[in-house]
Amino acid sequence: MIEQPIQQQSVQQSFDFVKSGAIKTRKEPIGERKKRLKLMLQWISKNESKIKAAVYQDFKKPASEVDISEIYPVTSEIKHALESLTSWAKPKKIDAPLSLLGTTSHIQYEPKGACLIIAPWNYPFSLAIGPLVSCLAAGNTAVIKPSEMTPNTSILIEEMISDLFDKEIVSVINGGVEVSQELLALPFDHIFFTGSPQVGKVVMKAAAENLTSVTLELGGKSPVIVDERTDISDAAEKIAWGKYLNNGQTCIAPDYALVHENIKDKFEEKLTTKVKELFSADETKIQDSPDYGRIVNAKHYARLTSLIDEAVSTGAEILFGGDANSDDNFIPPMALTNVSMNSRMMEEEIFGPVLPIISYNNLEEAIGIINSKPKPLALYYFGRSSKNRKKVLKETSSGNVCINDCVIHFGHANLPFGGVNNSGIGKAHGYYGFLAFSNEKGVLKQRIGLTSTKSIYPPYSNFKKLVIRILKKYL
Ligand SMILES: NC(=O)c1ccc[n+]([C@@H]2O[C@H](COP(=O)([O-])OP(=O)(O)OC[C@H]3O[C@@H](n4cnc5c(N)ncnc54)[C@H](O)[C@@H]3O)[C@@H](O)[C@H]2O)c1
């Protein structure tokens, strides 16, 4: 189904176009930005079936999953921006401190300019177009570099953008690592990168050469704690959904489960039942389930099977799953117990449908395991104890936390979404996405303020020294 790509411009040409476009868009009224967002919304609603077909071709993602995780996140982001943009972009009046009484101040949100958006393959449509919503809402122009791993969706993105926008507003450059690095060498005004922590470091180093600001939406091992007092059946079902959605290839999927030892057996039993209910309720083989996708390619299939083999050879036991099939990169939902903490399974981001279950004896121990690893993108806590919940919130650090559920915080338009250190820098979505693509310009206007009397300028007479002393002591 891969069609011929539209004739691509060179990397440099695309940059030059969006750079000159950015000079124009910064002068435009907010209405122009809204028009662009509306065009995107219309295109998506007209072309839903094309989006579903492209993502299916890339890794057999079920159509309903495309609705939930590729189309809805973008359309809801657009609708939210359309409703809120006027108020987000309005200059915000700021009170003057006593020392500057008599002056007036405001924050003016100006577009950063020409931006680069680099996307991963796991949600190939929404993670390329979602950031574009914030980018255009803030009045910028953009070059998008979709992932080379999902070629059908990448070509569709190119088609969408050339249907909708002049190349001075948005351009798409398709290609792999080399193209990405060529783009990264250019002095964009902001880079919004979604991908792995390893490549995040490459992006940040390249950005440093031009002192370009970055938003890095990265990954990592997001833990889920299942506390002793909890609704085990509910927790098992939600964890099964969050883990096996998109074949576990979700940046905020629960990576591993820390389960209180007193409920471990019950949790394992419930998880096994829930997975069956989700993907083979009528005894259909999971491989034939229309609701279960595939690993994106042979390279990732091999990476995952090697993680599983290594875990099993170092003592892990398979609770369920196991019959993988390299013919179509199928790995069934799996859970492992007795996984060694020194195995690669517990050291690398799994990014596939395998859930290691580790039991703990007290919460300190679970928190200790989490804190021994780089700060995760998401942390999940299932439990009824508010004391334990508060302890987890206070004693761990992660980009986001979701309590008594999984993954759904991604869809909350008013929450900042993103990581911390190894799992990311900067936040996305809604107002926070708008801020990521804006320069918050502080503006001060002198009127009749204390400093307008120039009483702190040299030469420092005794009177001026007194004024400075008063300023230091009281203001
Ligand atoms: N925080 C989030 O919102 C979020 C969302 C989805 C995925 N992720 C993370 O993304 C990762 C999976 O996606 P991926 O495999 O596509 O990530 P990746 O880092 O391998 O690739 C992401 C993008 O970077 C480009 N790229 C790859 N290597 C590069 C290099 N050396 N120099 C310059 N560019 C390079 C790729 O072409 C692709 O467009 C996981 O770690 C996952 O957790 C994070």
Domains and CATH numbers, the chain: 11-218+426-439 (3.40.605.10), 223-415 (3.40.309.10)
Mean pLDDT, residues 140-155: 98
Q: Which of 41-45, 161-165, 288-292 has the lowest mean pLDDT?
A: 288-292
Instruction: Give residue 456's pLDDT.
Output: 85
Judging by DSSP bridges, how do beta strands 378-382 and 400-403 pair with one another?
A: parallel
Residue 421: how many other CB atoms lie within 10 Å: 14
pLDDT averaged over every residue in the chain: 95
pLDDT tops 60 at residue 196: yes
Do the beta carbons of residue 357 and residue 334 sit within 8 Å?
no
Mean pLDDT, residues 240-259: 97
CA distances from 219 to 36, 54, 81, 250, 385 (A): 30, 25, 26, 9, 28
Q: For residue 359, list its beta bridge partners.
A: 259
Pull the structure tokens for residue 409.
Answer: 């915080």
Q: For residue 228, list its beta bridge partners.
A: none
Ligand 1 lining (C-beta closer than 6 Å) = 118-122, 127, 145, 147-148, 176-177, 180-181, 194-196, 199, 202, 217-219, 251, 349, 351, 377, 419, 424
Instruction: Give residue 65's pLDDT.
Output: 95
> What single letter denotes the amino acid at residue 416?
P
Instruction: Give residue 8's pLDDT.
Output: 62
Question: Which of 196, 203, 205, 425 has the most ligand 1 atoms within 8 A of CB, as the residue to mutate?
Answer: 196
Mean pLDDT, residues 9-13: 92
Query: pLDDT grade, residue 450 (50/70/90)?
Result: low
Query: pLDDT grade, residue 35 (50/70/90)?
Result: very high
Instruction: Give residue 113's pLDDT.
Output: 98
pLDDT tops 70 at residue 451: no
Distance CA 410, CA 416 (A): 9
Nearest alpha carbon to residue 89 among 55, 141, 138: 138
Do the beta carbons of residue 221 and residue 228 sit within 8 Å?
no
pLDDT single digits (tens) 292-321: 999 999 999 999 999 999 999 999 999 999
89 Cβ neighbours under 8 A, 6+ residues apart: 30, 109, 138, 139, 434
Give yes or no: 217 in active site.
yes
Q: Distance from first CA to last CA of the chain, Å, rounded? A: 69
Judging by DSSP bridges, how do beta strands 114-118 and 190-194 pair with one another?
A: parallel
Options 217, 237, 268, 349, the catalytic residue: 217
Show the CA angle centred on residue 230, arms to residues 228 and 234, nearest 5°.
135
Nearest residue CA, atom 26 of ligand 1? 177
Query: pLDDT grade, residue 452 (50/70/90)?
Result: low
Burial class (CB in 10 A: 0-12, 13-18, 19+), 182: middle
Pull the structure tokens for residue 444.
Answer: 């001060």
Show the CA angle centred on residue 96, arms to residues 95 and 100, nearest 5°.
175
Q: In what order do the strands lie in the sheet with 317-320?
A: 317-320, 334-337, 354-360, 256-260, 223-226, 378-382, 400-403
pLDDT tops 60 at residue 364: yes
Ligand 1 centroid – CA 188 distance (Å): 19
Give yes or no: 70 in active site.
no
Options 135, 251, 402, 406, the catalytic residue: 251
pLDDT single digits (tens) 48-103: 999 999 999 999 999 999 999 999 999 999 999 999 999 999 999 999 998 888 89
pLDDT tops 80 at residue 433: yes
pLDDT tops 90 at residue 472: no
pTM: 0.96
Instruction: Give residue 404's pLDDT.
Output: 98
Instruction: Give residue 389's pLDDT.
Output: 98
Instruction: Give residue 448's pLDDT.
Output: 77
Mean pLDDT, residues 236-265: 98
Distance CA 21, CA 25 (A): 6
Distance CA 202, CA 192 (A): 13
Question: Which of 180, 252, 423 has the most ligand 1 atoms within 8 A of CB, as the residue to mutate?
Answer: 180
pLDDT single digits (tens) 205-221: 999 999 999 999 999 99
Pull the structure tokens for residue 287.
Answer: 């491989």
Atom of ligand 1 at shortest distance to CA of 424? 1
Judging by DSSP bridges, how do beta strands 213-217 and 190-194 pair with one another?
A: parallel
Do the beta carbons of residue 78 and residue 133 sit within 8 Å?
yes
Pull the structure tokens for residue 296.
Answer: 């994106």
